[in-house]
Amino acid sequence: MLDALVNALRAPDIRRRILFVLGMLVIYRFLAHIPVPGVNVAAVQNILAQNDFLQLLNLFSGGGLSNFSIVALGVNPYINASIIMQLMTGVVPRLQNLSREGEYGRNKINQYTRYLTVPLGILQAYGYLALLSSSTATGGDPAISNFAFASIETWMQIITLTAGTILAMWIGELITERGIGNGISFIIFAGIVSRIPLAVGAFLENPDLAAGVAFAVVALVAVAAVVYIQEGQRRIPIQYASRVRGRRMYQGGSTFLPLRVNQAGVIPIIFAISILLLPAQLAAYFSTSSVEVVANISKTIISLLSPNSPLYIVIYFLLTVGFTYFYTAFTFKPDETADQLRKNGGFIPGIRPGNPTRDYLAKVVTRISLAGALFLGTVAVSPSIISAIFSSSVLGSLSLGGTALLIVVSVVVETMKQLEAQLMMRNYEGFIR
């Protein structure tokens, strides 16, 4: 991997791409430190430290929410729009037809995704402001004091946050087009990595040897497991028969259909933790209710769904496993794959084309998805289990969490793959010359 990186830096065109990515990330990190006017940043940071839901949103904003900067929303609305469009593609016939039209269809779907990002950004900006205006950290001042729907100041803040989202989306697409790797993933990656020096500094100020060793061991094992599972795939052999078209005869051949063990990526964890944190967030609103019964029920829900409670860990694990199967069913269509194989003259040895091929692919995907689902569930709950065993605040600050770990490792692996592909393409060009 290091050899590939060194060779990439020696190639002028690839080096320019890498420097472009670094430049865009520096610009984004600069924007992440420009606060929105009319917001108490210190109060926002205090609220953020006491709210798991906002910490999750801060993760996907690339760290912009902690300073409530102009890019506080980050690429969250764009990610939500992409997920919605991906799910809608599986149920809306017009979008299904567009997805089959090659590059033109993909460009149209991407255009619809950008359009959907704007209203989602406005709604999410209003939700952030409403949440922060109603939340007050323990012993702290309110983050937003003049929040009102009819207020000009509030709408200026909403417009600023929405514009920051569009700017972050544009930076991500520039990285994808002119750099190396996926720009949206790089923005999230930069926000996660930027927190590591602060966590290491906190650990050095108050070192806990047992917790540090436990974290190092678990981190190494988790990284190895993430790489192993993310790269794991089941290769289904495909045989193509010889066929005649016009006066030409096309020779048949053999290849394979790669089915990844984890086809859903990090999406199931995002769905699971978003749904799991929502009841606790709603209960926090009613915990200070003047009605004693409502306040007691709210406090009970908050205690039961705390990140280190056994009920939280069990529900989190089950939701992650369930959403892995749910999302895999949307992203992989056995009937469409079987139909494409039949149209192109391909078949699985020993399996008849048509419905038998569809049933076989569905059975294989269901089996290998079990390993991916259990893996995602284990990675998701491992930080909570470690924090429960080692009651160390320093360890909690060091722990990236299952979602962040998957993002970091996935981005590094995919980027190195693209670098190696670029280097191989250069070698082939030199050989042809």
**What is the reported pLDDT for 126?**
84
**What is the reported pLDDT for 154?**
84
Residue numbers in the chain where pLDDT is lower than 50: 138, 392-400, 429-433
**What is the reported pLDDT for 397?**
44
**What is the reported pLDDT for 405?**
74
Looking at the chain, the whole-number percentage of residues with pLDDT higher than 70 is: 81
Task: Please state the φ and ψ torsions of residue 38, each to the nearest 5 degrees.
Answer: 85, 15
Position 20, amino acid: F
| Among 366, 365, 265, 273, residue whose Cα is nearest residue 317 | 273
Q: Which CATH superfamily hosts domain 1-194?
A: SecY subunit domain (1.10.3370.10)
pTM of the model: 0.73
**What is the reported pLDDT for 394?**
44
Apex 15 CA angle, 14 and 18, nearest 5: 90
Q: Where are the domains of the chain?
A: 1-194, 209-399
Position 186, amino acid: F
| Among 425, 429, 416, 427, residue whose Cα is nearest residue 6 | 416
Position 214, amino acid: A
CATH 3.40.640.10 for the 209-399 domain, yes or no: no
Q: β-strand 233-240 against 253-260: which pairing, if any?
A: antiparallel
Q: How many CB atoms lie within 10 A of CB 374?
A: 15
Q: β-strand 253-260 against 243-245: which pairing, if any?
A: unpaired
Fold: same for 1-194 and 209-399: yes
The pLDDT tens digits for 309-352 are: 788 888 888 988 888 888 888 778 888 888 888 887 788 888 88
Q: Which token pair is 184?
A: 């949206």
Using H for helix, E for strand and C for coil, what is the string for 300-319?
Answer: HHHHHCCCCCHHHHHHHHHH
Using H for helix, E for strand and C for coil, what is the string for the chain?
Answer: CHHHHHHHHHCHHHHHHHHHHHHHHHHHHHHCCCECCCCCHHHHHHHHHCCHHHHHHHHHCCCCCCCCECCCCCCHHHHHHHHHHHHHHCCCHHHHHHHCCHHHHHHHHHHHHHHHHHHHHHHHHHHHHHHHHHCCCCCCCCCCCCCCCCCHHHHHHHHHHHHHHHHHHHHHHHHHHHCCCCHHHHHHHHHHHCCHHHHHHHHHHCCCHHHHHHHHHHHHHHHHHHHHHHHCEEEEEEEECCEEECCEEECCEEEEEEEECCCCCCHHHHHHHHHHHHHHHHHHHHCCCCCHHHHHHHHHHHHHCCCCCHHHHHHHHHHHHHHHHHHHHHHCCHHHHHHHHHHCCEECCCCCCCHHHHHHHHHHHHHHHHHHHHHHHHHHHHHHHHHHHCCCHHHHHHCCHHHHHHHHHHHHHHHHHHHHHHHHHHHHHHHHC
Asked if 37 contacts 2 with a C-beta cutoff of 8 angstroms, the reply is no
Q: What is the CA radius of gyration of the chain?
A: 24
